[in-house]
Structure 1
Amino acid sequence: MRLIAATWTPVWHDAPDLWLDRYRAALAEVKADRDTLVIFPEYAALEAAFYGGVSLDAQDWMRRGADHFARYCDGIRTLVAETGATILGGSGFADSGNTVVNRALFCAPEGEVFVEKHMPTPYERALKMAAGRPGPVIDTRFGKIAVLICYDSEFPLLARRYVEAGAEILLVPSCTDTEQGARRVEIGCRARALEGQVLVAMAPLVGEVTRCEVIDVNLGQARVFCAPDLGAPMMAFWPMVRAMCRALPFWMGLSSDSVPGAKTRMSVSQTTGRRANPSL
């Protein structure tokens, strides 16, 4: 398994769907294939709406983002079909009945499932965003995976529910506009890895985005954490991760084949033939 956590800055495009070419080029850069699990950040899905030179307030961006979310998900499905990779697409505004939630598509060649942010931040609550449903534990060829979108990673009982249901890997797409917020999510990820004895991967939105006040300033750094225990010692994989970051400045990667002892801890990642079905 290769786990790739993206630090991503959405950009404006001259026409709809050009964002897909940018994603396609990024996946080609890291040679994404069937053995690759890729994580895009929270609110990265808004890039599908970044065309036309519009200037909107936060409420209107929520509406525009929701109107483009299905198109973004179709693009993620296309990338999965082209590469064979398993991709957690960036989250975005999505309609849920008469409300809007923060939702992401987890898509694999074997199947797909939507995940939602369960705990909106105070800013999101001010926008009248609704709390999403707790997501499933997803049975994949890499093992059992669950998703905690940004703020959700700061609440131990949410992660505990997933770990007790068998989750072995927690994915945390994030978007924070202050150093304090980025550090809170990072600390949450560290704590969840230690408490649950699981692998936790954090993929943040970064940089400045013009003409979109919802994600105008973004701070963070891709991180991969695990408890310093048998099979995945911290000191074994951090030098390799740093080397990959120097080569690929927009990505952080972890390969079980490159980590001494990791095959013992992550042997489930090498199994095949299991369908990506929710089990919770």
Structure 2
Amino acid sequence: MKLMIAQTNPLWAEPVANLEALESLCRLAVEAKVNLIALPELAFTGYNIFERLDDLAEAIDGPIVTQVAKLAAQYKLHVLFGLAERRPSGKLSNVAILIDDNGQHLATYDKHYLWDREHEFFTAGKKSCVVDTRFGKLGLMICYDNEFPEVARELAQAGAQIILSPTANMLPNAERQVLQIRARAMDNQCFVACINRSGEEDNLQYCGNSIVAGPDGEVLGRLGLAAGTMIVDIDLARIDESRTHQNYLNDLKLSDLNTRDLNLSCSDISNGADL
């Protein structure tokens, strides 16, 4: 699979203009024979929109998703992007949406770990999301989820071969972000991509440094601070190669089989058994 990471600097609270910019990215992707283009968290509104959510949050069939689906079908691309979604109940969710190359809505993932002010506005998701595509099994997470190893591990255990994470991470977290993404990839012996954004909003300066890491934690591509794109070839055979030497997920299962014995031993000790 050819993956394009689009590290954008969206105009704040200007979804129409930001959607127009997406078409140029789609043209670049087609020229490079890309299969999937991935954009950051809250890609078409900007991230720091909390006071504007009443008018910027949209239903899943709203103008943003509708236009992205149209472009995906027109240019025959899968597209992943972040959105502030308003549910029929009125609740707001910070989501990642995957559209296929026929313009069909494949998946919506609700951000599990909310950060800072997000708790005041968004409802946290509770379910993981793995989507079976012709390019492989894609797992979704969002930004702060990157910092919790359990999220990527659950996706990998559910079969995810490529984990994609739309992000809006800020300075001074660039190197921390890179380390975390490499660790998530190495721990689970799969591909992990962080699609961060660049630019500034009020006092927030985004750190860019989007990265794609391979199954051994190797850096397959990394951007800097500025807006830009990169294309990375994803070869799923590298997962099997990595797991030839040691297979963490299989060994984890074997370890789980012995958990009962371990618990009995701990119980014996707590009851005063001789050491």
Partner of 2:196: 204
Supply the distance in 2 between the matched residues of 1:149 and 1:201 (Cα, whole angstroms). Answer: 11
The structure-2 alpha-carbon separation of the partners of 1:141 and 1:81, relative to structure 1 and needing over 3 Å to count, comes to same
The structure-2 alpha-carbon separation of the partners of 1:196 and 1:266, relative to structure 1 and needing over 3 Å to count, comes to closer
2:176 aligned to which of 177, 184, 194: 184
Partner of 1:120: 114
- Decide whether the 8 Å contact of 1:2 with 1:35 is kept in 2: yes
Identity of aligned residues (%): 26
Partner of 1:221: 209
Partner of 2:238: 265
Q: Give deviations 1:43-87, integer Å, cap 9, x for gaps.
A: 21316x9xxxxxxx9543222221487211111101111111111
Partner of 1:271: none
Paired residue secondary structure (2:125): coil
Partner of 2:253: none
Q: Following superposition of structure 1 onto structure 2, how do residues 152-171 of structure 1 map, counting pairs within 5 Å?
A: 152-171=145-164
The structure-2 alpha-carbon separation of the partners of 1:137 and 1:216, relative to structure 1 and needing over 3 Å to count, comes to same
How many aligned positions are there? 235
Partner of 2:101: 109
Partner of 1:76: 68
Deviation (angstroms), 1:123? 2.4
Letter in 2 for 1:6: A
Between the two structures, name the one with larger relative contact order (CA 8 Å, sep ≥ 6).
1
Supply the distance in 1 between the matched residues of 2:114 and 2:154 (Cα, whole angstroms). Answer: 18
Letter in 2 for 1:113: A
Structure 1 residue 250 corresponds to structure 2 residue 244: no
Q: Give deviations 1:158-177, integer Å, cap 9, x for gaps.
A: 11111111100000111023
Deviation (angstroms), 1:6? 1.2
The structure-2 alpha-carbon separation of the partners of 1:46 and 1:198, relative to structure 1 and needing over 3 Å to count, comes to same
Instruction: Give the TM-score normalised by the residue count of structure 2.
Output: 0.75
Q: Following superposition of structure 1 onto structure 2, how do residues 57-76 of structure 1 map, counting pairs within 5 Å?
A: 58-67=49-58, 70-76=62-68
Q: Give deviations 1:214-238, integer Å, cap 9, x for gaps.
A: x953222121101338xxxx4xx84
Instruction: Give the TM-score normalised by the residue count of structure 1.
Output: 0.73
- Decide whether the 8 Å contact of 1:7 with 1:206 is kept in 2: yes
Supply the distance in 1 between the matched residues of 2:146 and 2:31 (Cα, whole angstroms). Answer: 26
Consecutive aligned runs of 4 or more in structure 1 exceeding 6 Å deviation: none
Supply the distance in 1 between the matched residues of 2:12 and 2:236 (Cα, whole angstroms). Answer: 41
| The structure with more radius of gyration | 2
Partner of 1:98: 90
2:187 aligned to which of 187, 190, 195: 195
Partner of 2:128: 135
Deviation (angstroms), 1:185? 3.0
Paired residue secondary structure (2:112): coil
